Amino acid sequence: MVRISGIEIYHEKIRYKEPFRIALGTSTESNNIVVRLVDSSGNEGWGEGSPSRAILGETLDLVFEEAKKLAAEILGKDLDSEGLYEIVMKSKSPSAAAAFDIAFHDLKAKRLGVPLYKLLGGYRSSIETDITIGIMEPDEVAERAEKYVKMGFKVLKIKLGEKPEKDLLRIEKVRERIGDKIGIRVDANQGWSVEEAIYMAEQLESFNVELIEQPVKWNDFEGLAKVRKASNIPVAADESAKTPSDVVKLAKIDAVDIVNIKLMKTRGIWGAIKVAAVSEAAGIKNMIGCMGETRLGITAAVHVSQALANITINDLDSDLLHGEEVVIEGGASISNGVRRAGDRPGLGIVKLDMSKLRLISRYGKV
């Protein structure tokens, strides 16, 4: 059990290198929550949450309001992972909940003196991530693809979700530019109708696409099942799968081949483990993705991916799209598309740039 004796809540604003556009909208910055938890011995754990109005229904005001409620509830309590999960599941802000859960598990692993991924399962020591290209004009997408391949990435994730003809042109231009040896994944972010998605699945076969992510509206489970039945390309659920019960519903109607885990959707690490367990039991593979986290939040996801065998696909790149970084030392490394969480205790975060964090609230002894 871990007793939380001090809590700090911060606001973090991080700009993107350039506007990042998907079918649901355009982002120019990430407005995140950062949480620091301290035990009675002075050990600390750090966590990050990246809110989403479009996917999680959150506003920044709601996030900090809910974070203050969580702080008041856990301060001075003896907690373990399951007990904290019961608390964060009641929160109206999944990303605030995730920040607390991540900080807790960072603290827990540090107290034990082990890297978090080894505490959670320790299945592998590194992972390979794709890198994402937002919605651009077809020639721009091809140019960006070539740039990332030269940087060493072997898998690209390309955002689609506009008119099928233009989306197909994007993939055609990319294949012409990078050849057949580089993996391509596509993500429509709910942008297609069921009929358009079935058509796209058929057309994309000739471009050797690895998966199609969230082709239709998040709540159209039956439509997703129709796409999966018609598609020879694996279909992944993202916005449709936030909780273990969502996975059960999708599995019952054979709607997907893959479920995309995001710590912001699952309310942190413990929820992600539950989603992975249900997926594995249903014969569904997992990928793991991200919202707008910096290397702080991305490192937590890398630890989860390294821990669990059922996570076989990685989309952990949001920090690489940012124009600035809060982590000064430590955290998940990146080289030629390969990420390693490292073997420092906890998340392995050594130093943060505190000038990028604005204190919102402080509780107890910190």
The fraction of the chain above a pLDDT of 70, given in percent, is 100
Of the candidates 108, 110, 118, 159, the residue annotated as catalytic is 159
Of the candidates 12, 130, 187, 293, the residue annotated as catalytic is 187
199 and 308 in a single domain? The answer is yes
pLDDT band at 165 (very low <50, low <70, confident <90, very high): very high
Segment 196-220, tens digit of pLDDT: 999 999 999 999 999 999 999 999 9
Residue range 12-38: mean pLDDT, rounded? 96
pLDDT band at 352 (very low <50, low <70, confident <90, very high): very high
272 and 146 in a single domain? The answer is yes
**What total number of domains does the chain contain?**
2
Q: Is the pLDDT of residue 61 over 90?
A: yes
Q: Is position 213 annotated as part of the catalytic site?
A: yes
103 and 161 in a single domain? The answer is no
Comparing CA positions, the residue from 74, 69, 5, 84 lying closest to residue 33 is: 69
Task: List the CATH number of the domain containing 165.
Answer: 3.20.20.120
pLDDT band at 306 (very low <50, low <70, confident <90, very high): very high
Q: Is position 254 annotated as part of the catalytic site?
A: no
pLDDT band at 168 (very low <50, low <70, confident <90, very high): very high
Q: Is position 187 annotated as part of the catalytic site?
A: yes
92 and 125 in a single domain? The answer is no
Residue range 183-189: mean pLDDT, rounded? 98
Q: Is the pLDDT of residue 182 over 90?
A: yes
Q: Is position 78 annotated as part of the catalytic site?
A: no
What pLDDT, on the 0 to 100 scale, is given for residue 291? 97
Q: Is the pLDDT of residue 174 over 90?
A: yes
Q: Which domain holds residue 40?
A: 2-113+354-364
Burial of residue 348 (CB within 10 Å: 0-12, 13-18, 19+) is buried
Of the candidates 39, 48, 238, 317, the residue annotated as catalytic is 238
Instruction: Quote the CA–CA distance of 105 and 115 in Å, as a whole number.
Output: 10
Of the candidates 157, 242, 262, 285, the residue annotated as catalytic is 262
Beta-strand ranges (E) seen in the chain are: 2-22, 25-39, 44-49, 78-79, 127-128, 131-133, 155-159, 183-187, 209-213, 235-237, 258-261, 285-288, 311-314, 327-330, 333-335, 338-340, 349-352, 357-364
Q: Which phi and psi angles does 43 have, rounded to 5°?
A: -70, 145
Q: Which phi and psi angles does 51 have, rounded to 5°?
A: -65, 155
45 and 126 in a single domain? The answer is no
207 and 91 in a single domain? The answer is no
143 and 199 in a single domain? The answer is yes
203 and 324 in a single domain? The answer is yes
94 and 123 in a single domain? The answer is no
63 and 174 in a single domain? The answer is no
198 and 173 in a single domain? The answer is yes
What pLDDT, on the 0 to 100 scale, is given for residue 114? 98
Q: Is position 39 annotated as part of the catalytic site?
A: no
Residue 68 token pair: 């203050």
| Residues 293-320: b if buried by 16+ CB within 10 A, e if exposed | bbbbbbbbbbbbbbbbebbebbbbbbbb
Q: Is the pLDDT of residue 189 over 90?
A: yes
Task: List the CATH number of the domain containing 62.
Answer: 3.30.390.10
Segment 26-50, tens digit of pLDDT: 999 999 999 999 999 999 999 999 9
What pLDDT, on the 0 to 100 scale, is given for residue 366? 87
Of the candidates 101, 106, 167, 213, the residue annotated as catalytic is 213
pTM: 0.97
Considering the chain, what is the average pLDDT of its residues? 97
72 and 133 in a single domain? The answer is no
